[in-house]
Every structure is written in C-alpha cells, then in structure tokens.
Amino acid sequence: MVSIDLHSIGTFLRQWLRNPAKMASVTPSGRQLAHMMVQQLPQGAARVVELGAGTGVFTRALLDAGISPSQLLVVEINPDLVAFLRRRFPGVAVVCADARHLDVLAAEHGLLMDGKLDAVVSGLGMLSMSSELRVGILRAAFAALGDDGRFIQFTYGPGSPVRRREREALGLRVRRTGHAMRNLPPATVYVYQRFHSHEVASVKAQRQDA
C-alpha cells in the first residue's frame, strides 16, 4: 500500500512554497495515481528510472511492486528533496541531477551494463516545460530504454503533455491509460513508446495466432 505521511506532505509544501514553478502540484501524488502509474510497467520489469520523485510516493509504489532497490535509480533536481529521499529510501540510489542526463546517469549506476531500461516513471511537470526541455528529457530517456521500454507520465492537463510534433520528431506513439479522479488534483496517465515496438509486438502476435 502507498501512504503519504504528514512529514512527507510538510516537506512537499515547503518546497512548493519556495519554488512553485518547479513543482508539478501543491500536493504530493496520491495512492490511486501511484497505483495507476505502476500498473503500466511492462510485465517482468526490473530496471527502472524515476524522474522528479518529490517525496517518494511513486518510489514507494515501485518498491512495493517488486522493483529491487538496486535496480531503481531516482533522479530529482531539488537538493532538499534529494536529502529527504535518501533518508526515506536508504537502499535506493537517489541523484541530484537534470533529467536530460538520464541515459548517462543510468549507465553510471550500472543499469545499462547488460541491457536497457524497462521503464521510466516520470513525476515531472511536463506542461510547465519548454518544448526543447521536454524533447531533451524524452531523447535521453529513449536512449536508455529498450525497444519495448515505456515512458510513463502523468499530467493534470486535458491532453498529452508531449505534443504531437514532439512525438513525431522522436518517433513515439502515445496511449492514454486512465484517469485518477481521486487524486488532488485529478490526473491522467499516458504511456509513450517507440513506434517500431508496436510493430514488432504486432508481428509476434500474428505469429502466435497462426
């Protein structure tokens, strides 16, 4: 089960008051949203990078879902939240860094030694970013993700936070997977994958049906 304690909420609110433009919301993500995000992990997922972890709601959900602490890398740009996360999850590698360096960070922490990442779980506020920044983050993510890897993102907006022209430039398809109505504010979950991953899966499915 995922829970948000009063200490986590207080930490999150203090950081939001200091710099609201860099925080996706005034409150940490809730249990329903965390569950929906983790549900989108590929079957058998092992190596995961989390972006913009905040106070660790998704981190806790990923660990509860069976992701090994040694195979989870958390990237958070706020140094105060990094310190909080390191105390809360002592067995997880938490780095204070820009998400555009995700591929380099994953390699440095041994997650790309014998393969690629299975998923990137993002709590970043994509809507508040420039197009250049969004594309830079996604480019780094898909440099580290395997062919069937998934970039899992939530948003408070009415549509995909990654624009059509950005998806086309990166060769990505998008799938809307659900709406967390009980989250505050309500949020929608999107999954981004490479186009050719879908084509390979379709061919495999056709062979199995034959």
Greatest CA span in the chain, whole angstroms?
59
Q: For residues 40 and 191, is the Cβ–Cβ distance under 8 A?
A: yes
Task: Characterize 4-24 residue by residue with b for buried, 16 or more Cβ atoms within 10 angstroms of its Cβ, and e for exposed.
Answer: beeebeebbeebbeeeeeebb
Please give the backbone phi and psi of residue 42, each rounded to the nearest 5 degrees, phi first.
Answer: -60, 150
Nearest-CA neighbor of 143 among 113, 102, 111, 197? 102
Q: Is the pLDDT of residue 194 over 90?
A: yes
What residue segments make up the domains of the chain, in order of their start? Answer: 6-209
CATH number given to 6-209: 3.40.50.150
Q: Is the whole model's pTM more than 0.95, yes or no?
A: no
27-64 pLDDT, tens digit each? 456 889 999 999 999 999 999 999 999 999 999 999 99
Q: What is the pLDDT of residues 99-133, one digit of tens each?
A: 999 999 999 999 999 999 999 999 999 999 999 99
